[in-house]
Amino acid sequence: MEISIIGDGNNANSTDEITPKTNTADVMTPVAEISPERGTFIRLLNRVARGDLAGLPIYGKFKDSGGNDLPVNTEMVITVEQAGESRPVEVSQEKTDIREYNQNDITTQRNVDNVDSVKHVLKWPQGYDKPGMPPHINVNSIDTAYIEMKSASVIDWTESTLIIDSAGVEEHRG
């Protein structure tokens, strides 16, 4: 299943599982909220058949209200807030810049030679004492996952696009 937000210049159209959010400038805050349907869970996979490295491919073009790329030093991370927790925990290694998103269009990002540069390597949440990388992260219907950014600019979803590769997402019942 593909999870996406696609801006067309006037609107931000998204699949059912994801909701665009507006970040706060210079603060790590959600730009997208992923919420599985009731009775299901979404599994984010840490390895897909495309490319050589581990990670969940997320393709994107991130723009401000003037149609300008977000600054290259924009930071990006995936977090999950589990039911009953007061705040989300990081479940991916933080990307410290979005250079690959600014330099390449989505078709180029999807190319087998470039996909590794837009993969987000998943990690065990803090407090899990397990070796290595997790094969996947589950987001239950009572949990919420976020894609968060820290940027000097505020994202404009009518001008931006985010696509989580369908090969990296599974939806399960139960």
In whole angstroms, what is the distance from residue 62 CA to residue 67 CA?
A: 9
Residue 124 is encoded by which pair of tokens? Answer: 């065990």
Block residue for tokens 């581990």: 54
CATH code for the structural domain at 3-173: 2.60.120.1180
Question: What is the reported pTM?
Answer: 0.95
> Is residue 128 predicted with pLDDT exceeding 90?
no
pLDDT of residue 83: 83
Share of the chain above pLDDT 70, in %: 100
What are the pLDDT digits (tens) for 95-123? Answer: 999 999 999 999 999 999 999 999 999 99
Q: Do 44 and 78 contact (CB within 8 A), yes or no?
A: yes
pLDDT higher for 174 or 4? Answer: 4
Domain boundaries, the chain: 3-173
Mean pLDDT for 144-153 is 98
In whole angstroms, what is the distance from residue 93 CA to residue 126 CA?
A: 12
What are the pLDDT digits (tens) for 29-45? Answer: 999 999 999 999 999 99
In whole angstroms, what is the distance from residue 67 CA to residue 59 CA?
A: 18
